[in-house]
């Protein structure tokens, strides 16, 4: 057994905690935005527990990891944000959910069988997954299983008290959260509650790669009245380097000439080793795509704020107008065609 794989006893503790949470059913009085923190006793890092299921559709406990996970949740919940549902896959978190049997993987059933557990009915089967930005939701590593079990235990402690006293989760000011903090005496953990300030994470550092000769050649091309649309959606086809690697969801960098619908370029990029490394590759690929147009476009329209930021230096170098819009008609038609081919 790999040291990254939970032991049978770690699985047993996790399943027992999940069963108790299911019996408690905290989604009966807690909303997804009723968040509290738990400090990991192994690393001191924070996870933020969120209870899902108030709408009666998807029952789960999510643990959003660090400020990146917490503020990723708030961005996802923002009604003014038009980010696609795939954005949830980019938020680092762990999840204990309750599913129908058919939604489990063979590996899940093997663990359940080894533990001698039995479940029956809809939304009755515990399932545990790890979410990492750019990767397919995957099976828990040992350290993740241990932390998720601890968070479920804290839900069992905190949720009943929230039912009796909603003010437990009312912060004294914006950015402050109730956090369960451990202290260890020998092999025994005890828990206290503190109100902690959790500021937003710093913006990640992105090193932009550029093929300078290719950029210089593009700068010497004539300007045109063409309009170009660019998007960078997650591509819903899992890939992996080898059978033992965690699969990734690639992203498609798609560039389309708006008037004709001609596809100037479509590249699949992956977040391995990181989202930031992948983002740094985008401007040079756009240079290659625009070179196929044979001219510098008058205007480039992108859908996401991320692309707007990544391509701003290129817009200044090449002197084209860069703007953001939720509507990219030519690009969406091309994307639908490419998806049908791949799927």
Token representation of residue 239: 């890939």
21 sits in which H/E element: helix 8-24
- The whole-number pLDDT of residue 236 equals 77
Token representation of residue 147: 């932390």
- The whole-number pLDDT of residue 78 equals 77
Residue where a domain stops, chosen among 171, 197, 223: 197
Helix, strand or coil for residue 110? helix
- The whole-number pLDDT of residue 343 equals 63
Token representation of residue 164: 């009796």
- 187 within some domain: yes
Residues 6+ apart with CB under 8 A from 210: 283, 284, 287
Residue where a domain stops, chosen among 150, 171, 197: 197
- 98 within some domain: yes
Burial label, 233 (beta-carbon count in 10 A; 0-12, 13-18, 19+): middle
Q: Looking at the 3D structure of the chain, how many domains does it have?
A: 2
Asked if 75 and 126 sit in the same domain, the reply is: yes
Task: For residues 68 and 275, give the distance between their C-alpha atoms in angstroms, rounded to a whole number.
Answer: 13
Residue where a domain stops, chosen among 170, 197, 224: 197
- The whole-number pLDDT of residue 272 equals 83
- The whole-number pLDDT of residue 221 equals 95
- 202 within some domain: no
Token representation of residue 299: 């205007």
- 135 within some domain: yes
Asked if 183 and 286 sit in the same domain, the reply is: no
DSSP class of residue 7 equals P
Asked if 246 and 320 sit in the same domain, the reply is: yes
- Which domain does 301 fall in, by range? 212-342
Virtual torsion, Cα 241, 244, 247, 252, nearest 10 deg: 0
- The whole-number pLDDT of residue 165 equals 93
Residues in the chain with pLDDT < 70? 1-3, 79-84, 171-173, 343
Token representation of residue 168: 């437990």
CA angle 230, 212, 305 (to 5 degrees): 30
- The whole-number pLDDT of residue 1 equals 46
What does each C-alpha distance from 152 to 47, 78, 163 come to in angstroms? 11, 26, 16
Asked if 175 and 31 sit in the same domain, the reply is: yes
Residues 6+ apart with CB under 8 A from 175: 197, 198, 199, 200
- 67 within some domain: yes
Asked if 156 and 230 sit in the same domain, the reply is: no
Task: Look up the CATH number of the domain holding residue 265.
Answer: 3.30.420.10
Residues 6+ apart with CB under 8 A from 141: 4, 5, 6, 130
Asked if 246 and 155 sit in the same domain, the reply is: no
- The whole-number pLDDT of residue 79 equals 66
Task: For residues 246 and 213, give the distance between their C-alpha atoms in angstroms, rounded to a whole number.
Answer: 36
- 204 within some domain: no
Asked if 81 and 192 sit in the same domain, the reply is: yes
Asked if 20 and 142 sit in the same domain, the reply is: yes
pTM of the model: 0.89
Q: Which has the closest alpha carbon to 48: 219, 197, 178?
A: 178
Biggest CA pair distance of the chain: 73
Asked if 167 and 258 sit in the same domain, the reply is: no
Asked if 151 and 219 sit in the same domain, the reply is: no
Asked if 144 and 119 sit in the same domain, the reply is: yes
Q: How do strand 321-324 and strand 36-39 relate by DSSP bridges?
A: unpaired
Chain CA centroid to CA 16, Å: 27
Asked if 177 and 221 sit in the same domain, the reply is: no
């Amino acid at each position: 057994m790999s040291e990254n794989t939970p032991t049978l006893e770690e699985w047993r503790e996790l399943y027992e905690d999940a069963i108790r949470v299911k019996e408690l059913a905290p989604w009966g009085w807690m909303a997804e935005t009723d968040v509290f923190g738990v400090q990991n006793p192994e690393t001191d890092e924070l996870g933020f527990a969120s209870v899902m299921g108030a709408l009666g559709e998807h029952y789960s406990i999510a643990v959003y990891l660090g400020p990146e996970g917490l503020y990723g949740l708030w961005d996802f919940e923002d009604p003014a944000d038009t980010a696609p549902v795939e954005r949830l896959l980019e938020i680092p978190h762990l999840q204990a959910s309750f599913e129908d049997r058919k939604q489990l993987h063979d590996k899940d059933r093997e663990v359940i069988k080894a533990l001698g557990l039995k479940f029956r009915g809809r939304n009755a089967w515990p399932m545990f997954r790890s979410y990492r930005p750019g990767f397919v939701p995957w099976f828990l590593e040992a350290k993740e299983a241990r932390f998720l079990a601890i968070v479920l235990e804290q839900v069992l402690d905190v949720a009943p008290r929230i039912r009796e006293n909603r003010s437990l989760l009312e912060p004294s000011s914006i950015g402050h959260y109730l956090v369960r903090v451990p202290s260890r005496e020998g092999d025994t953990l005890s828990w206290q509650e503190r109100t902690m300030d959790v500021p937003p994470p710093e913006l990640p550092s992105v090193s932009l790669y550029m093929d300078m000769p290719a950029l210089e050649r593009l700068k010497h091309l004539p300007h045109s009245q063409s309009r170009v649309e660019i998007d960078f959606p997650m591509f819903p086809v899992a890939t992996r380097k080898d059978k033992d690697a965690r699969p990734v969801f690639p992203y498609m960098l798609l560039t389309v000439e708006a008037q004709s619908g001609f596809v100037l370029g479509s590249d699949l990029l992956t977040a391995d080793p990181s989202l930031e490394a992948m983002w740094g590759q985008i401007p040079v690929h756009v240079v290659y795509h625009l070179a196929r147009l044979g001219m510098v476009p008058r205007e480039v329209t992108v859908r996401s704020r991320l692309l707007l930021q990544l391509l701003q230096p290129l817009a200044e170098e090449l002197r084209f107008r860069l703007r953001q819009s939720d509507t990219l008609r030519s690009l969406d038609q091309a994307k639908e065609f490419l998806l049908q081919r791949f799927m």
